[in-house]
Amino acid sequence: MLTIEKLNALEILDSRGRPTVQATCRLASGCVASASVPSGASTGTAEALELRDGDPKRYRGLGCRRAVANVNETLHCALSGRAFATQAELDRALLELDGTPNKSGLGANAILSVSLAFARASARQRGVPLYQHFADIAGAPLATLPRPTINLFSGGKHAGAQAPIQDVLVVPAAARTMDEALAVAFAVYASAADLVLQKYGMRLLRADEGGLAPPFSSAEAMLADAVEAIGAAGFKPGEEVALAVDVASSHFFHDDRYHLGPVPLGSLGMIEELARWCAEYPIVSVEDGLAEEDWLHWPELRQRIGERALVLGDDFLCTNPARIRRAIDANAATALLLKVNQIGTLTEALEANHAARFAGWRVTISARSGETEDNWLADLAVGWGGDQIKIGSITQSERLSKYNRLLEIEAETRLPVVSWPQA
């Protein structure tokens, strides 16, 4: 049994300098562990509620003192002394104490910090690495390491909207190890930085996730520059290194139109444009190609591009099992972007993971644009058998803590990286 002795939390700062929550869980066995929650900027409207203080005089309302107090007072008082056999039992207790459908009672940030800290303390008590503990929670053996998809160029909400789409990512498709994948990503990133200097006269200016963010003339220019950078780094685009794109289209969808370029597009026009990109560029994954509430057209998007690229839902699905099941029934996607804090507990995120896998979908396990130096995401992606992992660029310590953890796990386990394209 895992008996909670003490829960406490601290308001810490994320990679944008905004407050977030770090919780510490002490078990009666003496095992103690902490965990921190990340925070998004281009959030889906169906996400669980991140509780903020709303005091405009402090961190422009973004303070997390109420969420911290909810851990220190409500959750500590209700849970200390209680024994749980499993993570699912603890998470159920958290949901009951919150009592709302979107975690607005206590805050998803408060709840998730405790869910994660408990998982880490449990792994310590069991004497197993965190990735092994996550695999045991999921009920599946460790088999592979996720293939990294690494941010190269940024736009949208992560880069001051100088380009409409959010990320162009590098997929080291032929790399056989994590070590090799990161070296490939470094080479392409370095070539892209040279190209940005020549073409845009810009030194390294990085967006929230570390991507390069020059003033691209259009979304398509991001793709063309990425292909050029792959070639300049000495790789064959599409064979050795492919591209993934996070269109994050909800953020430029207004008045039923996609404001991608000078001429606003309807949903069918947007699908045409994405299909053309997939035909002309080596794109293997398209995230949020359509807006989160454009349910009617997602099945058409899947039909048009699903053979060549993953049709990946982020804001569209919000790691929400009910939305995922609806999307499965509608044949609306082929892959889930899993962000634990979109839903707020490990157990619900696992349910999302299972639902996606059961439907034969792929899963990309993802960080947020506001991250901390905590590295649990790497263990989660390995333990839950993520096909891909999306962390950001190989820059900035909040990203590197996860990449470095993946290297450690690779050295420890010698697991192979998931092959791509998968059979």
Return residues touching Zn ion (CB under 5 A): 246, 314
Give pairs for 304-309: CB < 8 Å, separation 24+: 304/271, 304/274, 304/275, 305/271, 305/274, 305/275, 305/278, 306/334, 308/278, 308/283, 308/284, 309/278, 309/283, 309/284, 309/285
308-347: contacts with ligand PGA (CB under 6 A): 314
What is the Cα–Cα distance from 232 to 298, expressed in whole angstroms?
A: 35
Q: Which is nearer to ligand PGA, 37 or 223 (CB)?
A: 37
The DSSP 8-state label assigned to residue 71 in this structure reads: I
How would DSSP label each residue in 279-312? HHS-EEEEES-S-TT-TTTHHHHHHHHTTTSEEE
Residue 40 interface partner, choices ligand PGA, Zn ion, none, CB cut-off 5-8 Å depending on type? ligand PGA
Q: What are the CA-CA distances from residue 153 to residues 40, 63, 146, 169, 254 (Å)?
A: 18, 30, 21, 7, 24
Place of tokens 């008082």: 77
Give the closest residue to 287 by CA, choosing from 307, 312, 322, 253: 312
353-372: contacts with ligand PGA (CB under 6 A): 366, 368-369
What is the Cα–Cα distance from 187 to 210, expressed in whole angstroms?
A: 15
User: Least CB distance from residue 162 to Zn ion, whole Å?
Assistant: 18
Q: Which of 246, 348, 374, 410 binds ligand PGA (CB under 6 A)?
A: 246
User: Least CB distance from residue 314 to ligand PGA, whole Å?
Assistant: 5
What is the Cα–Cα distance from 97 to 182, expressed in whole angstroms?
A: 42
245 touches 168 (CB < 8 A): yes
166-205: contacts with ligand PGA (CB under 6 A): 166
User: Least CB distance from residue 287 to ligand PGA, whole Å?
Assistant: 7
User: Least CB distance from residue 387 to ligand PGA, whole Å?
Assistant: 16
Q: Which is nearer to ligand PGA, 110 or 207 (CB)?
A: 207
Structural tokens at position 243? 């591209």
Q: Which is nearer to ligand PGA, 122 or 166 (CB)?
A: 166
What is the Cα–Cα distance from 36 to 31, expressed in whole angstroms?
A: 17
Which positions are annotated as active-site residues? 209, 339
- Which residue sits closest to ligand PGA, CB atoms considered? 40
Q: Which is nearer to ligand PGA, 87 or 151 (CB)?
A: 151
Residue 368 interface partner, choices ligand PGA, Zn ion, none, CB cut-off 5-8 Å depending on type? ligand PGA
* Phi-psi sector, 361: left (phi>0), alpha (psi -120 to 50), beta: beta
User: Least CB distance from residue 389 to ligand PGA, whole Å?
Assistant: 12
30-69: contacts with ligand PGA (CB under 6 A): 40-43
Q: Which is nearer to ligand PGA, 251 or 304 (CB)?
A: 251
140 touches 42 (CB < 8 A): no
User: Least CB distance from residue 315 to Zn ion, whole Å?
Assistant: 6
Q: Does 392 sit near ligand PGA (CB under 6 A)? A: no
Residue 24 interface partner, choices ligand PGA, Zn ion, none, CB cut-off 5-8 Å depending on type? none
State the residues that interact with ligand PGA by CB under 6 A. Answer: 40-43, 166, 246, 248, 314, 366, 368-369
